[in-house]
Structure 1
């Protein structure tokens, strides 16, 4: 399971830990919801970089995105944010001719460093001071009230709720694992752990062949789940967040209270039913078949990592 710290705001929970590219893509969705997609211009970076801008608006807001690697360390994150602004704000001067052509007459009134979170007011002071220094340089495409700011998800609560309600993202394309991939994974520690769990769960009541068939189904479910969660993570960040929270909550409940039944088969069925129900409530727009696959794969993940366990045969 993916592990991420969460920051609980007044609205929905927001992720603190992001990879750079996925944060840039998600931030674009936030900005598009605020300004209107037709008013946003993305700056391609494949040829000679992005000139220090990820995208800009027709009303004069220049956006640069940044996701600190040290999301849990406030001091290190703040230092990284200030350093990012220190590198990119001067690019307005360095790339002034390129930026002037991109803006094509639009006057820039704001430069905004958009981050997943903002904990330290020193970041605000540092960025605003750098912005004033840039404005003093007299760049022709800056307004007289130009400001440099740092914004976070907390400044986009309404947009976050819109994305959550609309479940925006690219169409899902989940690739089912091949028989060879299932076999290869089954020959690793993943298969060995599932074999051990199922062997202890059903003991002498199941033949080695029956256990192997069950093992392959759990391995296949595990691989399919990972593919599905990765697709959600990359293309439906809001849905992924809700799936992550639901799975983590069910795992925490299982660890804290255990399964109601002491019979392995009933434990598996109980956990599967609870997982499906929880996912249906959290992800009502997701295809029911995909929810079932994620639920089945989550049970496999629990078998591999031991939140769902069975005693040795004959143990009290």
Structure 2
């Protein structure tokens, strides 16, 4: 939500247009110009039958004012569908509408969902509606993760998932429930260093656990970016593996070069991720590969 706080209505509309055009692709998405005689209560529509409107409530509104203004926006724009039915029908052509969606920065109250259902039941049967009527919905950009992520690149937004420190007790619990992985870490760390080995093992376990949490968060919120990050890391692993076919590196050297490859590769992604997330990914992948036996070629066993 933080990147949306500094927006205004026009900026939010531009953000939504980029987001939805990316989500539905240009062949299936249409923007309605409003310079001449207004947009007739439709800012965007899709060939699959969805009408979109955007609204940016004042962030300083109280909850009561917020609900009042959002409900007014829904009510006013739905009325325009009836008022401009003939013009809208000409604009849509053969497209049959099944959904009307208001996109706002954040859905703060379940009362708005109830209000949408209430309005849905009271709508008249319009010529461009599905024979079963239409759904009236309210959504935020969270419903369009791929498009939202794409649109953020135009405003320089940095992706950052807050990370919590892993307690030593949690690392100990992981050892007990993942004995095979822990044995792998123990074998490999003996090849890496002879001093501070217990500290290294604990840090690797913590990095492993943080990576799992971070990957789950990116998979849920930014699925395309999750895939890009995973592919970059695997390509880096393969690069170091191929290099070691011709010149065997010392374990410390190989691990350090792989760590730097991860850092550099992730920093070049078009959608910027925070330095904190970059470092967690870069070191976490190495921890997971050591635990899951994907780096035997480096350790030379």
**TM-score, normalisation: structure 1:** 0.48
Structure with more relative contact order (C-alpha pairs < 8 Å, separation 6 or more): 2
Bigger radius of gyration among the two: 2
